[in-house]
A and B are shown apart, each in its own frame.
Chain A
C-alpha cells in the first residue's frame, strides 16, 4: 500500500535508507484501540444488564450526579478533540507554531477535565458516597451498583485522560525537537487517535450516567 521510502542522501546510496510504513503504524494503533473498545465494552455491558434490572434505582441514584459539571466536561473534551485535530492539520500545512499551540491547548483542556472530575468526586466522597461506605451500603442494591459502576467507569476513563496527557506531552516534545515534521507526523496522528477514543468513550458515559431523568 502506501509505503513511504525516504532515501537519506541521493548522492550516496550507501547512506542510511529509512523505511517507513505509515499505514501499518496507524493500523497497529487501531488494533490497540479495538482492545480498548472491548475493555470498556465489557463495562458498558455490565452497566446495561444492571440498568435493565434496576431501572428505578439507577434513575434515583443518577439524580445525585451534577449534570452541570458533566455537561461542562463534555464541552471541554469535545473542544480538546478539536484542538488535537487542528494540531495535526497545522503540521500537515507546515505551520509548526500553530501545531504546538493547538497541542498545548489540548493538554490544558485535558487538565481542566481532570480538575472538574476531582471536584466532582470529592463532593460525592464528602457526602459519604463511595464504594464500601456506610452511607452507600445502607442503600438498595441498584444504587450501590450504579455508584460502583460510576466510580469504575469514570475512574478508568480518567486514567485514560491522564495517560493521554502524558502521551500528548511527549508529542509536544517531539514537535519542538522536530521529530514530528510536515513529512513525518504519524506519531502525532496516532496520539490523536488515542485522544479521540477517550472523547468517544465519554460521549457514551455522559448520557448513561448524567442524563438519566
Chain B
C-alpha cells in the first residue's frame, strides 16, 4: 500500500480541544459585558475561529487532498450567496 496518510498525534488534538474550551470561556464572558451591537459580531467571530479549528484539525481538512477544500469553499459560498440575496430582498422590499 502506497498510501501516505497524515496521522495527527494525540497531543495536537488535545491542544485543539483546550483552545476550543478557552474560546468557549471567552465567548461566554464577552456575552456578559454590554457591548451593544458588537456582541453578535464578536460571538460570530469566535464561533468562526472555533469552526476553523474543528474543520482543519478534527475533520482533517488541512491535511486532506485539495478537492475537499474546493467542496468546502463551494458549500460556504452557496450559503453566503443565499444569505446575501435574502437580506437584499428583505431590507429593500
Residues of A bordering B, CB below 8 Å:
1-2, 4, 6, 22-23, 26-27, 30-31, 34, 37-38, 41-42, 45, 48-49, 52, 67, 71, 74-75, 78-79, 81-82, 85-86, 89-90, 92-93, 183, 189, 192-193, 196, 199-200, 203-204, 206-208, 211-213
Please measure, in the bound complex, the distance between the C-alpha atom of A67 and the C-alpha atom of B12, giving whole angstroms: 29
Contact pick for B13, options A4, A86, A193, CB 8 Å: A86
Measured between beta carbons, the chain A residues less than 8 angstroms from B75 are: 34, 37-38
Q: How far apart are B6's CB and chain A's nearest CB, in angstroms? A: 10
Please measure, in the bound complex, the distance between the C-alpha atom of A30 and the C-alpha atom of B13, giving whole angstroms: 21
Interface residues of B in 64-93 (CB under 8 A from A): 64-65, 67-68, 71-72, 74-75, 78-79, 82-83, 86-87, 90
Task: List the 9 closest pairs (A to B, CB-CB), nearest first.
Answer: A211-B31, A207-B43, A82-B17, A34-B75, A41-B79, A78-B20, A85-B13, A92-B7, A203-B50
Please measure, in the bound complex, the distance between the C-alpha atom of A206 and the C-alpha atom of B21, giving whole angstroms: 13
Measured between beta carbons, the chain B residues less than 8 angstroms from A26 are: 64, 68
Nearest B residue to A51 by beta-carbon distance?
Answer: B40
Q: How far apart are A132's CB and chain B's nearest CB, in angstroms? A: 26
A sample of 11 cross-chain residue pairs with beta-carbon separation below 8 angstroms, ordered by A number, consists of A4-B1, A4-B3, A38-B78, A48-B87, A52-B87, A81-B17, A85-B57, A203-B54, A204-B44, A207-B43, A213-B31
> Are B24 and A49 within 8 A (Cβ)?
no
Q: How far apart are A47's CB and chain B's nearest CB, in angstroms? A: 11
Nearest A residue to B32 by beta-carbon distance?
Answer: A213
Q: CB-defined interface of B21-53 with A at 8 Å, one 1/0 digit per residue?
A: 100100110011010000110011011001100
Chain B: interface size category: 35 or more
A-B contact count (CB 8 A): 116
Measured between beta carbons, the chain A residues less than 8 angstroms from B64 are: 26
Known: A30-B71, A199-B54, A213-B31. 11 other contacts (CB 8 A): A22-B3, A26-B68, A30-B68, A34-B74, A37-B79, A45-B86, A81-B54, A207-B27, A208-B43, A212-B31, A213-B32
> Are B43 and A211 within 8 A (Cβ)?
yes
Q: How far apart are A145's CB and chain B's nearest CB, in angstroms? A: 14
Measured between beta carbons, the chain B residues less than 8 angstroms from A93 are: 7
Measured between beta carbons, the chain A residues less than 8 angstroms from B8 are: 85, 89
> Are B59 and A196 within 8 A (Cβ)?
yes
Q: How far apart are A113's CB and chain B's nearest CB, in angstroms? A: 14
Residue from the set B39, B55, B79 with the largest chain A CB neighbour count within 10 Å: B79
Please measure, in the bound complex, the distance between the C-alpha atom of A30 and the C-alpha atom of B40, giving whole angstroms: 29
